[in-house]
Amino acid sequence: MQYGYMGSYVSINLTKEEVSFQSFSDEVLRKYIGGTGLGTKILFDETDGNTDPLGPENLLIFNAGPLVGTKAPNFGRYHVVTKSPLTGKYAEANSGGKFGPALRKAGYDGIIITGKAKRPVYLSLDNGKVELSSADHLWGKDTYEVGDWMKENHGKSSVCCCIGPAGERLSKIAGIMNDGRDGRAAARCGVGAVMGSKNLKAIVAKGNMEVPLFSKDEFNATSKEWSVKISQSVGNDILGLYGSSCGLEGTEVLGDIPIKNWGAGNFEGAKKISGPVMAETILTKRYYCGQCVIGCGRVVEVKEGKYLLEEGAGPEYETLGVFGANLLIDDLSAIATFNELCNRYGLDTISAGCTISFAIEAFEKGLLTKEQLGGLELHWGDPDCVIELIHKIAKREDFGFWLAEGSKIASEKLGGIAPQLAVHVRGLEFPAHDPRGANGLALQYITSPRGACHLSSFTHDFEYGGGGPMLNFPENAFDRFGYEGKGAFVSQYQDLMALFDSLTGCKFVLFGFEGKPLEKIKMFLDLATGWNISEEELMETGERIMNLKHLYNLKCGWTAEEAKLPYKMFGITRGTGGAADNIPNAGLMLTQYNKFRGRDVHGIPSGDTLRRLGLEKEGLGLI
């Protein structure tokens, strides 16, 4: 029996300029839901392990979910799934803004892009209608300009996602941006390079098609009720008031935020770049994504000083971490400028910031020279050289060519001890959370399907005492320097987050679910689909999705040798501060994790595990 939600995808083969449509059975939808769940299923089924990430055969899959385009609070994101040119393995990247809802209102739950256009094109989806148009005139334009042009030419209600010059030049740290000047980004894993490799500059969506809901009235009433609750709790709390950097000053005290390319323990300047300071200085207003009732997004404007900025998207915590503390820069207006530059060029701010901190340290140690940088000198705490370097990376000028490949490849190009200065797992640069500050992060990073990712679990939030969604865990699992129970803790939160990402929910809404995220997810999902799904089945769905991502990586040649932290987390302590001496014993936690997950010691899921999750077919031939 089919309800309204069908997983309706439009497939576009850019080589052949062919359009086709597909939907999924209720059985598949219930197993993978949407978002990264369904995206992974499509990627797994339709590519083999040898796919060249930048070849026409790679798939670039845009995924919404059953709650996107509805009134359900904070479930309006979209997720990109593809094979990563940065890691050579599974990639996911997601973004808020209004593109997700626009996609669904245009009539689709997702888009599958394959092939490569002969010339630059853009795709428009308008109330079911699919069209490819020339993007010759847009090629070379930055993402804000593309957003402006789309609004002018496709109407104010249209929303687009696109790549900037970095994606066009196949930078492996290029992301996909959406909502023009609102500066929203599905940034990680080099998804922008995949879009660039297909000569696809942009996708614009608009429409007023109705999103199918099983119990529309009840769904809308429930959405209203929870919109008020969340708005009044999380939205009125520090996250809403001060944005994702609300706790930045505390992360410095705890030893969480990276400082001086992950090489120091304290940074006095953290006090100057936190959310509350931003609210007092450059903030003009809060920004709300589609369906959002929290409003953690920042809109900023800089009217005085050296780094002037028109009103626009402000930096998130991660950006402030990697472009601020990690470069020893404490000037908010400078960081806001870096943020806008990266947004316009379509660069992942996390990877770009970490790659630049790597470059500065390599320069300081004499491994990277002024000559290699076309005369540019790099120094800690110097915003001007950072601005120059962002330009060089986006334009692939001088050694910027290699930095645009990400810190792993750039460090290997430099050789010597340079690879020890690059902080990534399997090529994906760390977000602004240090595993030396919370052991669970180490396990998250080495086991996350996309590389160093703090969003595929969320356990550090407990470890740092920040609360977060509740499952049944003993207190000792929360000891940030302890090891007891970490394997189970991280595994289960990964499953919960995989479920969340299949519903394309904003993770901050978790704080508004009164400690019962599964109950609330069930509530919205049942009302939307009529599935009457149990909490146990929901958790198993998350587990299935996590395992399918892992099976995809295995298909791409992943082995447990890759489950390791970079040298800085192995042989170097922070030295001072709240996590001065800790080096996480990642291997110890990995042994717990594999056991809990029903995998062998080499990370290969057992037959029992695969059968239990209904992944016999997907596991076949791998084990």
Quick one: which of 129, 232, 591, 620 contacts its own copies (CB under 8 A)? 591
* Smallest gap from residue 561 Cβ to its own copies (A): 6
- In the window 421-440, what residues touch its own copies (CB under 8 A)? none
* Smallest gap from residue 622 Cβ to its own copies (A): 11
228 or 580: whose CB is closer to its own copies? 580
* Smallest gap from residue 555 Cβ to its own copies (A): 12
Tokens of 107: 């009539």
298 or 436: whose CB is closer to its own copies? 436
Angle, helix 517-529 to helix 535-555, in steps of 10 degrees: 90
- In the window 174-233, what residues touch its own copies (CB under 8 A)? none
Tokens of 467: 């609360």
* Smallest gap from residue 420 Cβ to its own copies (A): 6
* Smallest gap from residue 438 Cβ to its own copies (A): 16
Q: How far apart are CA 492 and CA 272, in angstroms?
A: 36
Q: What mask of x and - would describe binding to its own copies in positions 561 to 590, judged by CB under 8 A?
A: x-xx--x-xxxxx---------x-xxxx-x
| Radius of gyration (C-alpha) of the chain in whole angstroms | 22
Q: Are strands 110-114 and 159-162 parallel, antiparallel or unpaired?
A: unpaired
Distances (CA, A) of 408 to 87, 100, 418, 427: 10, 32, 9, 5
* Smallest gap from residue 305 Cβ to its own copies (A): 36
CB of 152 closer than 8 Å to CB of 351? no
What stretches of 314-467 adopt beta strand conformation (E)?
Answer: 424-425, 428-429
At 342, the amino acid letter reads C
- In the window 445-484, what residues touch its own copies (CB under 8 A)? none
349 or 582: whose CB is closer to its own copies? 582
Tokens of 259: 């400082």
The number of helices, as runs of H, and strands, as runs of E, in the chain is 25, 17
155 or 416: whose CB is closer to its own copies? 416
The reply to whether 374 sits near its own copies by the rule CB under 8 A is: no
473 or 570: whose CB is closer to its own copies? 570
435 or 451: whose CB is closer to its own copies? 435
204 or 443: whose CB is closer to its own copies? 443
474 or 571: whose CB is closer to its own copies? 571
336 or 490: whose CB is closer to its own copies? 490
The reply to whether 367 sits near its own copies by the rule CB under 8 A is: no
340 or 361: whose CB is closer to its own copies? 361
- In the window 379-418, what residues touch its own copies (CB under 8 A)? 416-417
Query: Which three-class secondary structure string do you get for 367-426?
Result: CCCCHHHCCCCCCCCCHHHHHHHHHHHHHCCCCHHHHCCCHHHHHHHHCCCHHHHCCEEC
- The neighbour count for residue 356, using CB atoms within 10 Å, is 24
Q: Is 297 helix (H, G, I), strand (E, B) or coil?
A: strand
- In the window 512-541, what residues touch its own copies (CB under 8 A)? none
* Smallest gap from residue 407 Cβ to its own copies (A): 14
Q: How far apart are CA 461 and CA 191, in angstroms?
A: 27
* Smallest gap from residue 559 Cβ to its own copies (A): 5
* Smallest gap from residue 586 Cβ to its own copies (A): 8
The total number of residues written for the chain in this structure: 623
Size of the site for its own copies (CB under 8 A): 27
* Smallest gap from residue 443 Cβ to its own copies (A): 12
45 or 412: whose CB is closer to its own copies? 412
The reply to whether 419 sits near its own copies by the rule CB under 8 A is: yes
**Applying CB under 8 A, which part among 11-19, 350-358, 497-505, 598-606 lies near its own copies?**
598-606
* Smallest gap from residue 568 Cβ to its own copies (A): 8
Query: Which three-class secondary structure string do you get for 247-265?
Result: CHHHHHHHCCCCCCCCCCC
The reply to whether 601 sits near its own copies by the rule CB under 8 A is: yes
Quick one: which of 420, 470, 523, 526 contacts its own copies (CB under 8 A)? 420
| Closest to 449 measured CA to CA, from 433, 426, 483, 419 | 426
Tokens of 283: 């903030």
Cα three-residue angle 153-155-158, rounded to 5 degrees:
110
The reply to whether 264 sits near its own copies by the rule CB under 8 A is: no
Q: Are strands 428-429 and 9-13 parallel, antiparallel or unpaired?
A: unpaired
Q: What mask of x and - would describe binding to its own copies in positions 543 to 562, judged by CB under 8 A?
A: ----------------xxx-
φ/ψ of residue 233, rounded to 5: -95, -80
CB of 186 closer than 8 Å to CB of 78? yes
CA 84 to centroid of chain Cα atoms:
13
Q: How far apart are CA 480 and CA 460, in angstroms?
A: 8
* Smallest gap from residue 477 Cβ to its own copies (A): 17
Q: Please name the residue ranges forming H helices in 106-237.
A: 143-154, 165-168, 191-197, 216-233
503 or 563: whose CB is closer to its own copies? 563
Q: How far apart are CA 194 and CA 88, in angstroms?
A: 12
Tokens of 108: 């689709």
301 or 562: whose CB is closer to its own copies? 562
Q: What is the residue whose two structure tokens read 């969320």? A: 458
Judged by the rule CB under 8 A, the positions of this chain that interact with its own copies are: 416-417, 419-420, 559-561, 563-564, 567, 569-573, 583, 585-588, 590-591, 594, 601-604
